[in-house]
Amino acid sequence: MGLGLYKEGSGISATRFLLSRGAKVTVTDLKTKAELIDQIKRLGKLANQVRFVLGKHRESDFKNVDMIIKNPAIPRKSKYLEIARANNIPIETDISLFFKLVNRRQIIGITGTRGKSTVTTLIYEILKQAKDNVIIGGNITKSPLVQLNKMKKNGLAILELSSWLLESLEDAKLSPRIAVFTNIYPDHLNTYKDIDDYAAAKENIFKWQINQDYVVLNLDNEFTKKMGSRVPSKRFWFSLKEFKNENGCFLKNKNIYFRNNGHEEKVLSVADIKMPGSHNIANVLAAVCVCKLYGLKSENIKKVVSVFYGVPNRLELLREIKDVKYYNDTTSTMPEASLVALQALKSSKKNIILIAGGADKGLDFTELVKEIEKTVKSLVLFKGTGTDRILKLLKTKKIDCAVANSMSEAIGLAKSFSKTGDIILLSPACASFGMFKNEFDRGDQFRSLVDKLK
């Protein structure tokens, strides 16, 4: 249910995997064949084995099957899934199926509102230097299903898990052996009734753990701090401040320390971290904590962290052209994320040209707009409902402001506002639907156009 648009995403990977196991596969998607043609081409000859029902869903397809694999973004309350439940048909995601096909003790799961992709990737990069068979997947646009053959008895899967993927683990009553929870901020409130409902979905990452498992939680976030009392496993914290007695990773005198059962060890210095912003120091703390639980030596961790510049689409420096820097932060789809990006790049010069806006997710833009008024010299906004709300909150007339109908127009406007020493930052704070396929398409368009600038 949902072929998806990512090259190695949930839908297309589940299709490949199930066909390889001899299943008879129907792919149903509300998108038309024309909209999915690139994905269908990626299936190659396998497409001939698939029965496609495109541009619609049919009730009959949810009654007469043995299993349904749903795309993570499909709401649990979809009327078609309700039909499947009424007919006692199992509903899985690619992740819940993966959990059932491997030993969950081989899985490290990472969730949170912000930082999970960076933490997932950094843990993967560190561990793969020490272990041969480590895979990465999940919400990072790469399904682990098609990598199942790499999961030997001692293999490890590092999985980024969204709230939607974690809902499927609730049905399976499964959690990873090591769970990492970066933070909780208001997000997807167009899907969840409130932030508590959203946080509850995320708690499935540790809800089904046992006392021999581990959870790594952010002590600096009010929601994850409160969760500490509810974990059934061994609890480790991470914090930008030094804390006493408890196990975990913390900052002291601009150094990162790891403490376990009273033993304290310096792992690396903040100066070794190449990614900008205090939020990325927090991401490193979380990743270091996991890798120390696996017994990795501090010098080996430091070696990887010191050459890790972040992941694509997350405050990623693309180019510097005529002394103007271009940053791609397309995955900042909520106000808090864009606020953090502005804080990471701001200077006394007030030299940021921000490209933002788009579709609304029911989030509060108040604090972001306050930060824009402090740190942004020019603002380019994509047309959309989120943009309308940002403009209503913007009180100052001192910021040059324009609305764009395409990425090309947005970059042209931003460039026209820029001078030597400025920063052009794509950090939308909004969803991408309407103008782009998804946030990664938005980032790809930005990257492609910036690459062509002279």
Fold classification of 316-452 (topology level): Protein-Tyrosine Phosphatase; Chain A (3.90.190)
Using the 8-state DSSP alphabet, how is residue 114 labeled?
S
In the chain, CATH 3.40.1190.10 sits at 95-305
In the chain, CATH 3.90.190.20 sits at 316-452
Which strand (E) or helix (H) includes residue 327?
strand 324-328
Closest CA to 120 of 130, 129, 111: 111
Sort strands 248-252 and 255-260 into parallel, antiparallel or unpaired: antiparallel
In the chain, CATH 3.40.50.720 sits at 10-91
3-state secondary structure of 246: coil
CB 441 within 8 A of CB 432: yes
Structure tokens at 196: 């508590």
- What is the predicted pLDDT for the residue at 151? 86
Name the CATH superfamily, with its identifier, for domain 95-305.
Mur-like, catalytic domain (3.40.1190.10)
- What is the predicted pLDDT for the residue at 188? 62
Structure tokens at 426: 């794509």
Sort strands 263-269 and 255-260 into parallel, antiparallel or unpaired: antiparallel
CB 135 within 8 A of CB 147: yes
CB 241 within 8 A of CB 267: no
- What is the predicted pLDDT for the residue at 396? 78
CB 122 within 8 A of CB 287: yes
**What is the b/e burial string over 233-243, where b = at least 16 CB atoms within 10 angstroms of the residue's CB?**
bbbbbbbeeeb
Residue 449 to residue 271: CA distance in whole angstroms: 33
Paired with 400 in beta bridges are: 378
- What is the predicted pLDDT for the residue at 398? 85
CB 58 within 8 A of CB 28: yes
Would you tell me how many other CB atoms lie within 10 Å of the CB of residue 393?
Answer: 14
3-state secondary structure of 8: strand
- Those residues of the chain that have pLDDT short of 50 are none
Closest CA to 278 of 245, 243, 238, 312: 238
3-state secondary structure of 399: coil
Would you tell me how many other CB atoms lie within 10 Å of the CB of residue 195?
Answer: 16
Residue 175 to residue 240: CA distance in whole angstroms: 27
User: Could you name the CATH architecture of 10-91?
Assistant: 3-Layer(aba) Sandwich (3.40)
Residue 248 to residue 242: CA distance in whole angstroms: 10
Structure tokens at 98: 């993966």
CB 256 within 8 A of CB 288: yes
pTM of the model: 0.89
Phi and psi, residue 105, nearest 5° = -75, -5
